Structure 1
Amino acid sequence: MDDTRYAVPGWMRVVLPIAGILLFLGLWQALAQLVVADAALLPTPAQIARNLRAWMDGGGFTPHLLATLYGTLGGLAIGAGLGFVLGVIVGEVRVLDRALYPMALALQAMPVVAIAPLVIVWFGIGLASKVALVAIGTFFVMFINTVAGMHAAPPELLDMGRAFGGNRWRIALAVKVRASLDYVFSGLEVCAALSFILCVVGEFLAANAGLGYYLRAASYDINAASMFAAIVVLAALASLLALAVRLAHHRAVFWKYRKQ
């Protein structure tokens, strides 16, 4: 079936999200001014923008931004990297698959936030605990997605690899890993959002810098504009990271997305 008549023009892919954001901001501005009318409860987008600009000009923005980025990206690189490598090995070795995969599923159901205080006790207050918390949370997502992707390799491609004389690990790397990329990048998109959440949780509980630390301090002062400013920055960072992962996804799995 030809789906070209349902395709969205390229210019609409840019215009529609911008229009949606502008509509959302307009509704927010109207709600804050006409309904709530109390900046302490719900500041307007303009007030949040002014607060964010003052925060940046004051020189305190960059240290908090870098602290959160270091914790998020460091933990994501370690957790997702280990999850991918071990997922490939476990997905290929049947004994390990049957021994470890059910346990990984059970551990993924455990809320990482629940062990956050214990992680802080182990690694202390600072960057190490945030990296560890993000790494633990993203590891299981990437591991499970990678194993599922390794199992989803088309049998005809595996038979073709054997017919051409490929050994076990050569077929695994050339066929199964490539077939698993769709699962891997889908898991990485989830990890991109999850990593910021876990990093902020760590900063909320015990940190001396970071956007989560700033957000907690603003909440103590009941400064809604500052709280929303930190939330806006976090949302922008998470969106940019998710967009980068999606672009890499479409590049890596080009045979699936080249017509879209």
Structure 2
Amino acid sequence: MDNGEIISGRLRVALPTIGILLLLAGWQSLAQFVVADPSLLPTPVQVGRNLWAWILSGGFMPHLLATVYGALGGLCIGAGLGFVSGVIVGEVRLLNRALYPMVLALQAMPIVAVAPMIIVWFGIGLASKMALVVVGTFFVMFIHTVAGMQAAPIELLDMGQAFGGRRWRIALAIKVRASLDYVFSGLEVCAALSFILCVVGEFLAARAGLGYYLRAASYDINASSMFAAVVVLSVLASLLALAVRVAHHRVVFWKYRKH
């Protein structure tokens, strides 16, 4: 490893750290010198104390796990179905012409508009939260997968046909491989979207979860608790998106490898 790679690696760690520190410093200054009312905008220190007290009280983990289960469970189902459906629709031209415009129209529909119906169908609890996440992430993954399937290099497709490759073998070996960059980009979007949709479900109807806790704190006008829940949600979504990005670079290594 040369000096350039060492410096580049250190910068990848240092720059986000500096950005976070600047954000916290700006937040602290705004809360302390501009707003100066903890009931409206607590300082990072006050939020940290509230979060630590929440953890020590034993009430943190049930809400955290409820949200993580709902978000990750729905993400796995929705993204998986979206990927498989996208591969099939991206390969079968008749299905592409028949279904793709309809999926685009449904994807434009606000998920919040159908959330009450989903809660009526699946009830209050984990199932309804997962269903919301499934619906939202399915469309994102489906559209990205279809776009990736259609972006396969024509020269590779011609080569596969010239060597006598069968249709679905060419699709799996060339088109799916070419779509992975699009798929992981969509999965990164889904990673953040899954927590947003899960919290929407918890806001509307839930017995536990960070969204449920956030709603209860808003009723009590407890700004420190509200910010603590928002901070935890931001960290969870960021960590999941980071994990997807790392996997993206590992799997699609031919694009991101260093020359």
TM-score (norm 1): 0.96
Structure 2 counterpart of 1:116? 115
Give the distance between the partners of 1:70 and 1:14, measured in 2 at CA. Answer: 29
Aligned residues: 255
Structure 2 counterpart of 1:210? 209
Structure 1 counterpart of 2:250? 251
Given residue 92 of structure 1, which amino acid in structure 2 is its aligned partner? E
Give the C-alpha shift of residue 259 in structure 1.
2.0
3-state DSSP of counterpart to 1:9 = helix
Give the C-alpha shift of residue 213 in structure 1.
0.1
TM-score (norm 2): 0.97
Structure 2 counterpart of 1:76? 75
Give the distance between the partners of 1:107 and 1:180, measured in 2 at CA. Answer: 22
Structure 1 counterpart of 2:91? 92
Given residue 165 of structure 1, which amino acid in structure 2 is its aligned partner? G
Gaps of 5+ in 2: none
Structure 2 counterpart of 1:135? 134
Per-residue CA deviation, residues 56-86 of structure 1 (Å, 9 max, x unaligned), is 0000000000000110001001100000001
Structure 1 counterpart of 2:149? 150
Give the C-alpha shift of residue 113 in structure 1.
1.1
1:25 aligns with 2:21: no
Structure 2 counterpart of 1:50? 49
Moved more, 160-169 or 202-211: 160-169
Structure 1 counterpart of 2:189? 190
Give the distance between the partners of 2:151 and 2:34, measured in 1 at CA. Answer: 52
Given residue 30 of structure 1, which amino acid in structure 2 is its aligned partner? S
1:201 aligns with 2:197: no
1:181 aligns with 2:180: yes
Structure 2 counterpart of 1:59? 58
Give the C-alpha shift of residue 27 in structure 1.
1.2
Structure 2 counterpart of 1:40? 39
Give the distance between the partners of 1:183 and 1:33, measured in 2 at CA. Answer: 44
The alignment-based identity, stated in percent, is 80
Given residue 204 of structure 2, which amino acid in structure 1 is its aligned partner? L
Given residue 220 of structure 2, which amino acid in structure 1 is its aligned partner? D
Give the C-alpha shift of residue 220 in structure 1.
0.3
3-state DSSP of counterpart to 2:254 = helix
Give the distance between the partners of 2:19 and 2:77, measured in 1 at CA. Answer: 35
Give the distance between the partners of 1:138 and 1:259, measured in 2 at CA. Answer: 32
Given residue 12 of structure 2, which amino acid in structure 1 is its aligned partner? R
3-state DSSP of counterpart to 1:40 = coil
1:225 aligns with 2:239: no
Give the distance between the partners of 2:16 and 2:86, measured in 1 at CA. Answer: 35
Given residue 43 of structure 1, which amino acid in structure 2 is its aligned partner? P
Give the C-alpha shift of residue 251 in structure 1.
0.8
Given residue 97 of structure 1, which amino acid in structure 2 is its aligned partner? N
Give the distance between the partners of 1:142 and 1:194, measured in 2 at CA. Answer: 11
Give the C-alpha shift of residue 163 in structure 1.
1.7
Deviating 4+ runs (over 4 angstroms)? none
Give the distance between the partners of 1:9 and 1:65, measured in 2 at CA. Answer: 35
Given residue 253 of structure 1, which amino acid in structure 2 is its aligned partner? V
RMSD of Structure 2 on Structure 1 (CA): 1.3
